[in-house]
Amino acid sequence: MKKESKLSSEKLFDIINGTFLMLLVVLVAYPLYYVLIASVSDPYEVYAGRTFLFPSKITFEGYARVFKEKSIAMGYINSIYYTVLGTLVSVALIITTGYCVSKKTLPFRRSIMVFYVITMYFGGGLIPTYLVVSNTGLLNSVWALILPGGVAVYNVIVARTYFEGSVPEELYEAAAIDGSSNMGTFFKIALPLAKPIIAVMVIFTMVAYWNDWFTSLIYMSDKTRYPLQLALRQILIQSQATATMIGNMDGGYAEANKITELIKFASIVVGAVPMLIAYPFVQKYFEKGFMAGAVKG
């Protein structure tokens, strides 16, 4: 009787838990789905609330306007280049820094971490940073987008915690007994065991670089070097300006505003799709690496 009661309780818990998780998935996924169907629906149908579940009066005018611009293809190429290069540089710096500060034999280890943490809360500000970038000759170059924020302190802390809690100290001691150098220990022992946390750092950094447009707006003056997000922003601004200019024309503003709304939704989809495609490839490492790096502080 007790066994049957226990099984019933477990089954009830599974049902409640499953229902809650399904609701959570819907809450997270629906906004993405809504933007997708809104991007192919007549904006007036969207305003009227007729696209709650399915698109209404399907049109691809927004995508046609977006992809008609030559800056989109160039923006994709630039964003992919900036994201790949930035991710490689940043993850390499984060993992090596996290490994070094995880070693208890590192001189001034605590002082170094205090210095890093201070930079999380206090910065020089936009103008001093711009002057530094300008005086070092990095303006209008890819390094202006990568080097100033190449080492995210939060990510360093997560990586350090992973190395401290997930790589047994005995492995390091055994490697030292076998005559392994510090570099050899890092590349042959620590790095192979750090695949989960590397995957987490890759997805964090990749998303940050892909979505970053403000840094390019500040440091890039050549429009041919604009990333995708900034190119989409320029298209949307031009569309809104056009709608305002023809506002006095009969029916002109309404039609121009309609196109602007279509471009707005299409831009969101165009900018988000690459990251949605890339995420599943690192998903299997994501939970393991993130939880292992966040258990201890």
Q: Tell me: the pLDDT tens digits for 94-140? A: 999 999 888 888 888 888 888 888 888 887 788 888 999 999 888 88
Q: Which domain holds residue 279?
A: 61-294
Q: Considering the domain boundaries, does residue 48 fall inside one? A: no
- CATH number of domain containing 101: 1.10.3720.10
Q: Considering the domain boundaries, does residue 266 fall inside one? A: yes
Mapping DSSP onto H, E and C, the string for the chain reads CHHHHHHHHHHHHHHHHHHHHHHHHHHHHHHHHHHHHHCCCCHHHHHCCCCCCCCCCCCCHHHHHHHHCHHHHHHHHHHHHHHHHHHHHHHHHHHHHHHHHHCCCCCCHHHHHHHHHHHHHCCCCHHHHHHHHHHCCCCCCCHHHHCCCCCCHHHHHHHHHHHHHHCCHHHHHHHHHCCCCHHHHHHHHHHHHCHHHHHHHHHHHHHHHHHCCHHHHHHCCCHHHCCHHHHHHHHHHHHHHHHHHCCCCCCHHHHHHHHHHHHHHHHHHHHHHHHHHHHHHCHHHHHHHHHHHHCCC
31-51 average pLDDT score: 81
Return the closest-CA partner of residue 115 out of 88, 127, 97: 97
Indicate whether 89 pLDDT > 90.
yes
> How many domains, in total, are found in the chain?
1
pLDDT reported for residue 40: 84
Cα–Cα distance measured from residue 260 to residue 250, given in angstroms and rounded to the nearest whole number: 17
Cα–Cα distance measured from residue 198 to residue 124, given in angstroms and rounded to the nearest whole number: 29
Segment 52-77, tens digit of pLDDT: 788 888 888 888 878 887 788 888 88
Q: Considering the domain boundaries, does residue 160 fall inside one? A: yes
Q: Considering the domain boundaries, does residue 197 fall inside one? A: yes
Phi, psi of 139 (to 5 degrees): -60, 140
Cα–Cα distance measured from residue 189 to residue 171, given in angstroms and rounded to the nearest whole number: 8
Q: Considering the domain boundaries, does residue 31 fall inside one? A: no
Alpha carbon 36 to chain centroid distance?
Answer: 19
Indicate whether 38 pLDDT > 70.
yes
Segment 230-267, tens digit of pLDDT: 888 887 777 766 666 665 555 555 666 677 778 888 88
Q: Considering the domain boundaries, does residue 178 fall inside one? A: yes
| Residues 65 and 240: beta-carbon distance below 8 Å | no
Cα–Cα distance measured from residue 33 to residue 56, given in angstroms and rounded to the nearest whole number: 14
Segment 259-288, tens digit of pLDDT: 777 888 888 888 888 877 877 776 666 665
Percent of the chain with pLDDT over 70: 86
Considering the entire predicted model, what is its pTM?
0.78
169-195 average pLDDT score: 82
Cα–Cα distance measured from residue 151 to residue 117, given in angstroms and rounded to the nearest whole number: 12
